[in-house]
Structure 1
Amino acid sequence: MSSAYLLVSHGSRDPRPEIAMQQLAKLVAEKLQISEKFVGIACLEVSPEPLHQQIQNFAQNAVFLGCRHLKIVPIFLLAGVHVMTDIPAEVALAKQTIGEDITIDLQPYLGSHPDLQRFFQQQINTIKADAGILLAHGSRRPGSQQPVETMAANLGLVTAYWSVAPTLESRVQELVSFGKQAIAILPYFLFSGGITDAIAQAVDELKLQFPGVNFYLAPPLGASDELAILIEDLIHP
């Protein structure tokens, strides 16, 4: 085995995202037709060890298993500060101490895959609504939300963001003022967790605020064979 693979996520105190990442790593190993021990997971935050140490530990184990290459895939949907700055900096730190026994390559982040849009198209196809909102986390980094805006336009949706404007409530108010009575909300999130729980609560409150409107809340993407295939494409373009 010449290569090993490390999937890097944000990290959460909620156990559900880590469980989903473990499931996703297993699916990626199946798609690559390799042992699960060659596909690991790490997180940028909320870990006892910094990411560069997690990379070092996994790389050392990979060398022991006979690997000479390590490919790191950021499991992020948006090119915010974490993808553009934090993860590359941690990878650079890891490279300084690993030596020449193994090469490390940082792959494109998951959200950069052009086929990600079809996941949301499939969700739209199963929901009967006369308007839809693509709801992402949001970032203050200039230009980071453009992929979401482009995808929403391609899908015939409007955007809303959890941490920056326009908010979910303001978008709903706008759509209701246009006479929309069935609104689909598609979370641009990978896994269930604290934020998706808060989104569900916010939608329940919107149902009370707008009793004449039907709301449809789709689930986050989740670990799936289809998502594993996208990661395989990023590993072997």
Structure 2
Amino acid sequence: MSSAYLLVSHGSRDPRPEVAMQELARLVCEKLEKNHNQANSEHLVGIAALEMSQKPLHQQIKEFAKTAFGVDNVSENRNQLKILPLFLLPGVHVMTDIPGEVALAQEAIGEDMTIELQPYLGSHPDLKKLLFKQVAKIEAQAWILLSHGSRRPDSQKPVEATAASLGAVVAYWSVPGSLELRVKELVAAGYREIAILPYFLFAGGITDAIAASIEKLKLQFSAVNFHLAEPLGASAELADLIWDLINK
């Protein structure tokens, strides 16, 4: 059985996340070549976006399958396409939207190829190790793990557990529990060196907005030193986690 891999992100109008996704795909290609002696693997690892794309995800999946395997319909039980959601929280996109799009793609392609939806990136236990590396680069009295957040019930629990393992408190960008609120709480508790770790994959419009928000906080709390860490970014270590998940 031949396999191909599609890395699915949220999508963005900012070009930087797509560049980072392309770099991740390249790194996963390298692992495919190394572990399976698969030459010319660039057509077997692709990227797609759930939103901000000209085509719906199920259409992107179908077109990638054609590119990866070379034909519209393949011999029965020979080809397999694995979809890896590059999301950090089990929100609506991970639990509802992507499975729905995968089901539409499978229906369109038929039974000649199997499409498997792999665990989302944020479920990998070793993701914490990458976050620890970010934390180790900055000395601070208190840390805030800043997540996008989700309105889906219970979807915040994984990020809260991650924050606890880092010795950090959680703030959310899009739901209650804002960065400003957490900063006020830490300042009231006497902290004057506060670091913020954006729990995002790549630099983009949101991380720019976070940086701008921190500049405002510096004016509001002039006695506090703020430190802003980098998002995870495309790296060989992140590609290792992706490779692990797509082989589960």
TM-score for the superposition, normalised by structure 1: 0.97
2:92 equivalent to 1:57: no
Q: Is contact 1:63-1:101 (8 Å) kept?
A: no
Q: Is contact 2:43-2:67 (8 Å) kept?
A: no
Q: Deviations over 1:120-162 (max 9, x none)?
A: 1111112110100000001111000100100111111000000
Alignment partner of 1:169: what SS? helix
Question: Where in structure 2 are there 5+ consecutive unaligned residues?
Answer: none
* Equivalent-residue separation in structure 2 for 1:8 and 1:152 (angstroms): 25
- The code of the aligned residue for 2:47 comes to I
* Equivalent-residue separation in structure 2 for 1:120 and 1:106 (angstroms): 25
Of 143, 154, 161, the match for 2:172: 161
Of 115, 134, 141, the match for 1:130: 141
2:88 equivalent to 1:80: no
Deviation, structure 1 residue 99: 1.9
Q: Is contact 1:63-1:102 (8 Å) kept?
A: no
| Larger deviation, residues 150-159 vs 55-64 | 55-64
* Equivalent-residue separation in structure 1 for 2:6 and 2:151 (angstroms): 28
Root-mean-square deviation (CA, aligned residues, Å) is: 1.3
Counterpart residue number, 1:210: 221
Alignment partner of 1:234: what SS? helix
* Equivalent-residue separation in structure 2 for 1:82 and 1:186 (angstroms): 23
Question: Where in structure 1 are there 5+ consecutive unaligned residues?
Answer: none
Counterpart residue number, 1:222: 233
- The code of the aligned residue for 2:183 comes to V
* Equivalent-residue separation in structure 1 for 2:69 and 2:237 (angstroms): 30
* Equivalent-residue separation in structure 1 for 2:119 and 2:97 (angstroms): 14
Deviation, structure 1 residue 61: 2.1
Percent identity of equivalent pairs: 68
Q: How does 1:55-204 map to 2 (within 5 A)?
A: 55-64=61-70, 68-204=79-215
- The code of the aligned residue for 2:142 comes to A
Counterpart residue number, 2:12: 12
* Equivalent-residue separation in structure 2 for 1:70 and 1:222 (angstroms): 25
* Equivalent-residue separation in structure 2 for 1:48 and 1:165 (angstroms): 32
Q: Deviations over 1:9-57 (max 9, x none)?
A: 1111111111110111001111121411110001111111110000011
Moved over 3 A (4+): none
* Equivalent-residue separation in structure 2 for 1:90 and 1:128 (angstroms): 43
Of 38, 44, 52, the match for 1:46: 52
Q: How many residues align?
A: 237
TM-score for the superposition, normalised by structure 2: 0.93
* Equivalent-residue separation in structure 2 for 1:53 and 1:161 (angstroms): 32
